[in-house]
Structure 1
Amino acid sequence: MTISPQATSSRPERILLEVADFLADPVAAARFPQTILRFRNDRAAAEVGLDGLSDAEWLAHFGRFEPLPGSLPEPLALRYHGHQFRAYNPDIGDGRGFTFAQVRDEDGRLLDLGTKGSGTTPYSRFGDGRLTLKGGVREILATEMLEALGVRTSRSFSLVETGEALHRGDEPSPTRSAVLVRLSHGHIRIGSFQRLATLGQPAEMARLVAYVLEQLYGEQPGEAPALQLLEHVVAGTARLAASYMAAGFVHGVLNSDNINVTAESFDYGPWRFTPFWDTGFTAAYFDAQGLYAFGRQAQAIHWDVVQLAIALTKLADVEALGAILDAFPALYEQAHAAAMLARLGVTPRGEAEDLALVQAIEESLTPGSVTIDRFFFDWAGGRRRAPSPADDAYAADFAGLEALLAPYAPSRRLDHAYWSDAEPCSMHIAEVEAIWSAIDRDDDWAPLHAKVAAIRRMGEALA
C-alpha cells in the first residue's frame, strides 16, 4: 500500500541522486518479522505533508520502506570516513541505516528521511544492522527534549518495533528490536568530505560543496565555494556547541562522522543531560579520557571542523581557510552567552555585561547545590521565584546574581501554566531508565507518551 503525494500535499524530492554516484550505494531494507507502530511524530509529519498517512500507510513506508512516490526510488547508504575519538577510520559509512527519502517542508527547506536499524549495508562490517528498541526510545527522548530547549536537532519521526531478539554486550540480552526514522536537514557529514580528500577526488568534492550550498543553504556558490561553506559550518557549529551547554546536554560521541555540515545535531547514542554544571561530566562509559565531556564539547566540535578545513585544502587556500577557523572561539563565546540568556528568558544588554552575567551563573552553578533545570526554571525572566526548594542554596551560592539580573528585561511571557508547576521538566538518566523499564517489563508505553507531551508543553512555555 502506498500513498500518492497529492493526498497529503507532500513535496517529495530526489535531488540527492545528483551526487549519489560518488556519495552513496543503493541498498535494500531488511525484511522484519513484524512492524508494530510505536511512535509517529505527526507534528513533524505535518510540516512535510505526511501527517495524513493512515497507520497502515505509515508502516508501509517507514516499516517496510516502500518508496515515497516522487522521492528516491531506492534507499541509499552514504559513504564517509571520520575521526573516531581522534583516530582516523576509513572503514565506516552507513552501517545500519540509509537515506530513504527527501521532502520539502512548508518553508521549502530540503529534508532527508533517514533510518537507524534498517538492516545491513556494505559498511556494516560485523554488525547486524539493527537497533534496539531501547535505543529508539532514547533517541525519541533526546530529540524531543533538545527541540524544546532550542537546540537544532534531527527529529525522531517514527519508531517501529520489528519483532527480532537482539544480543548486545552492553545491556541485558536478548532485547527487543526496532527501526527508527529521523527527519534531518541533510545527512552530509564532515566525514563525507574527509573521504573524498583521502581518496583524492577534488572534482567530486567540488560537486558536494555545490550541493550543500545550493540545496541545504539555499545559496549559489560564489567565487570561493569551499570558503563559503566553511564559514557556514564554523558559525553553525559554534552555535550548536553553545546550545548544548545551555541545555546541559552531553552528546557523547562527537566524532567527525557525527557532525553534520548543516550544524544540526543528530545520531544519539550514549547521550546524557547532566543534572549539575559539571564540566567533566561524560555520557559514554567508553570515553575514559573525557574527550567529549560536557565542558569540552566546543573544543571537540572545533577540532572536527578543523578536519573539514583540512579536507577543503583540496579546493581552497590554506591561509584563507585558517582565517575562517580562527573565528570559532569568538563566535562560540558570543553564541554561548546568547544561548544561556535565551534559556533564562532575558533580553541581552551588551557583550561585556552579558558575558559577566553568564560567568556568574556558571560560577554559581558549579558547586552543584542546584540542578541546571531547577535554576533556569526558578529564575525564568530574570526574577527569582519564591518559595523554592533551592532557596537555601540560592542564599549560599548565588549571592550577587539578583543584582546582576536586575537591569535585564524578560524576553518571554511567563503566563503559561508550565511556570506554575512545582518542578521543572527534566530528562535525567533515572527517568529515562524508568520510562524504558515500563516498556520492557509491562509493555507500558504511557510513560513515554506522557513524557513527550510534558516536554512539548515545556517547549511551548519556552518559545
Structure 2
Amino acid sequence: MSVWDSVTLSTRFRAMPEVFYTPVEPQPLLNVGWVAWNAELARQFDLPAQPNDELLQALSGQAMPEAFAPLAMKYAGHQFGVYNPDLGDGRGLLLAEMRSRQGEVFDIHLKGAGLTPYSRMGDGRAVLRSSIREYLCSEAMAGLGIATTRALALMHSDTPVYREKQERGALLVRVAQSHIRFGHFEYFFYTGQHEELRLLADKVIEWYFPHCADEADPYAALFNQVVDHTAQMIAQWQAVGFAHGVMNTDNMSILGQTFDYGPFAFLDDYQSDFICNHSDYQGRYAFDQQPRVALWNLSALAQALSPLVERSDLEAALSAYETQLNGHFSALMRAKLGLNRRLENDGALFDDMFGLLEKHKVDYTRFMRQLSELDRDAQQAVLDLFIDREAAQTWLQRYLSRCEQELDAVGQPLSSGERCSAMRRVNPKYILRNYLAQLAIDKAEQGDFSEVHRLAEILKTPFEDQPQYEDYARLPPEWGKKLEISCSS
C-alpha cells in the first residue's frame, strides 16, 4: 500500500489555461537524504509520522505519484520598486494539492527542483544554508501564531551548487494554502490579458474567499479582504519584531501569509530602521518601512485589478489600510503589555517605551518577556537590560501605575499574576535568532542535523518555559547581532 493512498490529491491549478504555468519535471539531485520531516504537519494530511523511502523518492522528484502534475507558475512583480515582467517559479514547482483532515486544500511545493523556463540566469537550485533558514523560520512563525507558509520536509544532497562558494544542493517541501502572489495579477494586467486576469480573480474567490461571491461587487470585496489580511500580517511582523527583507510584490501572498523566506531576521537590539538584507542598500525594506511598503504593494495590486474594480472602490480599500493596520497592531501590543483598557495617555507610554529601547539598544524580545515575568522576578531584571537604569525606572513605574488601572472580568483590579500569565502567552521566550540558525547551518554542513531538529522542536512552543533549553533564550553574542544575510540562495 502506498503512503499516498490515504491522501486526497488534486491538480486544480493545472486545470487552468497553460498561460498560467509551464509543465516542468523535477531534475533530481544526487544521493538525496532526509534532513528533517515535520511529523506534526504530516499528520494533518494523513501522511506518516516517520519519513520513508517512498516519501523521499516522491518528494525529491525521483519517482513521483501519478497524481502529481508538476508545474512552474508564471507571474511578474515589482522588485525593489521596479517592474520586472520576466519572473515566475525559477527554482520551485507546484507538485499537486492535498486536502487536510479539516477539509482545506494546500499546495505541495518543491523548492530547488532545477531549471524552469523562468530561471533566468539561475540554476534552479536551492542550497542547504537557505533551505534550513526557511524550514526553521516558517515553523517558528507558525509557533508564534503568525500567518505563514509551512515546511513539510527538508532534504540534502551531494549535488554541488555554486553561489559565493560551492555549497550543497537541498530541497525544501513547502505547504501553503496558495502560492498565488500579487505578481500573478500584475502579469496578466501588464500583458493586457484581462480575461485571464478575471479568471484568476474568480478562482481566488472560489478557492479562498467564497463569501465574496455573494457581495454586490465580488472583485472589490476580494481586494478588501486582501488589504485586511495584509494589514494583519504586517501588524504581526511589527509586534514580534520580524523583518522580512525582500518585500517585492512577487513575494506577497494573496492570502496575507508570510512567504518566501530569504534574508529575514528577528530584532535583537531594538532598532526601528534595522535592515536585515545586506543587498538593500537604500533601506527600502527596513523594519520600520514594512507597513509603508505593504501599502505600496497593495497599491500595485490595485492597479492590476483596475480592469475589474472601480477606482473609487480600490481607493476606499487602500485608505482603510492604515486604520486596519493600526487596529491590529494596537491590539497585539496591548496584549503584549497586558493592557486591555484604552486610556488617554497610553500612546505616550508606548512611544516612550520604543524610544527607550532604541536609545539604549535593548533586546526587544527579552524586554517584552521580562515584563511578563514581573510576578516572578524583581523589577531589577528589567532594569538590568538598560544602561540608564534611572530612565528605565521612571518608565517602569509609569507602566506599573498604568497596570493598576486594569480590571478583571468582574470589574475587580487585575492581579499581577493574572496579567503576567496572559502576557507570557503572547510574548515569546524563544525566537529564531540569526546566530542560532547559523549554528545549526554550520553543523548541518558537516553532516550533523541535530541542531536543526532541536531548534525546530524548541520553536514549536516559543511561549512556554523549556528549562532544558534555557541557553536558547539567552541574549545573543555580539558576533551574532551582525550577521549579514543576502538574497543569495
Mapped to 1, the partners of 2:10 and 2:327 lie a distance apart of 36
User: Which of 140, 146, 149 in structure 2 is aligned with 1:145?
Assistant: 140
Deviation of 1:413 after TM superposition, in Å, equals: 4.1
Mapped to 2, the partners of 1:310 and 1:417 lie a distance apart of 40
Query: Residues 317-343 of structure 1, C-alpha deviation per residue, up to 9 Å, x if partnerless?
Result: 11111111100011111111122234x
Deviation of 1:411 after TM superposition, in Å, equals: 6.9
Deviation of 1:433 after TM superposition, in Å, equals: 1.7
State whether structure 2 residue 46 is matched by structure 1 residue 15. no
Match of 1:458 in 2: 462
User: Which of 377, 383, 390 in structure 1 is aligned with 2:369?
Assistant: 377
| Distance 1:390-1:382 versus aligned 2 partners, 3 A rule | closer
Matched residue of 1:91: which SS?
Answer: strand
Judge conservation of contact 2:231–2:324 (CA < 8 Å) in 1: yes
Deviation of 1:424 after TM superposition, in Å, equals: 3.3
Matched residue of 1:118: which SS?
Answer: coil
User: Which of 416, 429, 438 in structure 2 is aligned with 1:433?
Assistant: 438
| Distance 1:352-1:231 versus aligned 2 partners, 3 A rule | farther
Match of 1:264 in 2: 257
Match of 2:480 in 1: none
User: Which of 260, 279, 294 in structure 1 is aligned with 2:272?
Assistant: 279
State whether structure 2 residue 185 is matched by structure 1 residue 193. yes
Supply the RMSD in Å over aligned alpha carbons. 2.7
Query: Residues 13-41 of structure 1, C-alpha deviation per residue, up to 9 Å, x if partnerless?
Result: 32223425332111010121111011111
Mapped to 1, the partners of 2:69 and 2:449 lie a distance apart of 32
Match of 2:409 in 1: none
State whether structure 2 residue 195 is matched by structure 1 residue 212. no
User: Which of 344, 352, 357 in structure 2 is aligned with 1:365?
Assistant: 357
| Distance 1:158-1:361 versus aligned 2 partners, 3 A rule | same
Judge conservation of contact 1:133–1:178 (CA < 8 Å) in 2: yes
Range with greater deviation from structure 2 (129-138 or 99-108)? 99-108
| Distance 1:42-1:127 versus aligned 2 partners, 3 A rule | same
State whether structure 2 residue 450 is matched by structure 1 residue 446. yes
Judge conservation of contact 1:74–1:100 (CA < 8 Å) in 2: yes
Deviation of 1:59 after TM superposition, in Å, equals: 0.3
Judge conservation of contact 1:345–1:381 (CA < 8 Å) in 2: no
Query: Residues 202-238 of structure 1, C-alpha deviation per residue, up to 9 Å, x if partnerless?
Result: 2111111111112122435233222111101100110
Judge conservation of contact 1:365–1:372 (CA < 8 Å) in 2: yes
| Distance 1:3-1:424 versus aligned 2 partners, 3 A rule | closer
Deviation of 1:388 after TM superposition, in Å, equals: 5.6
Letter in 1 for 2:315: G
Query: Residues 98-154 of structure 1, C-alpha deviation per residue, up to 9 Å, x if partnerless?
Result: 111211223222211112211110000111100010011111221122222221111
Structure 2 residues without counterparts, runs of 5 or longer: 407-413, 467-489
Deviation of 1:284 after TM superposition, in Å, equals: 0.8
| Distance 1:51-1:345 versus aligned 2 partners, 3 A rule | farther
Mapped to 2, the partners of 1:56 and 1:293 lie a distance apart of 43
Judge conservation of contact 1:29–1:64 (CA < 8 Å) in 2: yes
| Distance 1:341-1:79 versus aligned 2 partners, 3 A rule | same
Match of 1:406 in 2: 404
Mapped to 2, the partners of 1:195 and 1:223 lie a distance apart of 26
State whether structure 2 residue 189 is matched by structure 1 residue 163. no
Query: Residues 277-313 of structure 1, C-alpha deviation per residue, up to 9 Å, x if partnerless?
Result: 2111011111011100000001111100111100110
Deviation of 1:437 after TM superposition, in Å, equals: 1.5
1:43-442 matches, cutoff 5 A:
43-52=40-49, 54-64=51-61, 66-68=63-65, 70=67, 73-169=68-164, 173-219=165-211, 221=213, 222-342=215-335, 344=336, 346=338, 348-350=340-342, 355=347, 357-380=349-372, 385-386=377-378, 389-392=381-384, 393=386, 396-397=391-392, 398-399=395-396, 400-408=398-406, 410=418, 413=421, 424-440=429-445, 442=446
Structure 1 residues without counterparts, runs of 5 or longer: none
TM value normalised by structure 1: 0.90
| Distance 1:119-1:351 versus aligned 2 partners, 3 A rule | farther
Deviation of 1:44 after TM superposition, in Å, equals: 1.1
Letter in 2 for 1:26: P
Judge conservation of contact 2:375–2:420 (CA < 8 Å) in 1: no
Letter in 2 for 1:350: R
Mapped to 2, the partners of 1:356 and 1:218 lie a distance apart of 42
Mapped to 1, the partners of 2:9 and 2:321 lie a distance apart of 36
| Distance 1:301-1:418 versus aligned 2 partners, 3 A rule | closer
| Distance 1:345-1:401 versus aligned 2 partners, 3 A rule | closer
Deviation of 1:414 after TM superposition, in Å, equals: 6.6
Judge conservation of contact 1:25–1:79 (CA < 8 Å) in 2: yes
Judge conservation of contact 1:157–1:182 (CA < 8 Å) in 2: yes
Query: Residues 406-457 of structure 1, C-alpha deviation per residue, up to 9 Å, x if partnerless?
Result: 33455784799999xxx932332222222211222x3222222111111123
Mapped to 1, the partners of 2:217 and 2:241 lie a distance apart of 37
Judge conservation of contact 2:22–2:73 (CA < 8 Å) in 1: yes
Query: Residues 140-174 of structure 1, C-alpha deviation per residue, up to 9 Å, x if partnerless?
Result: 221122222221111111111121111112xxx21
Matched residue of 1:145: which SS?
Answer: helix
Aligned residues between the structures: 449
Letter in 2 for 1:283: C
Match of 1:3 in 2: 3
Judge conservation of contact 2:243–2:264 (CA < 8 Å) in 1: yes
Mapped to 2, the partners of 1:22 and 1:101 lie a distance apart of 18
Identity %: 28
Mapped to 1, the partners of 2:113 and 2:200 lie a distance apart of 25
TM value normalised by structure 2: 0.85
Mapped to 1, the partners of 2:167 and 2:187 lie a distance apart of 34
| Distance 1:179-1:323 versus aligned 2 partners, 3 A rule | same
Range with greater deviation from structure 2 (322-331 or 223-232)? 223-232
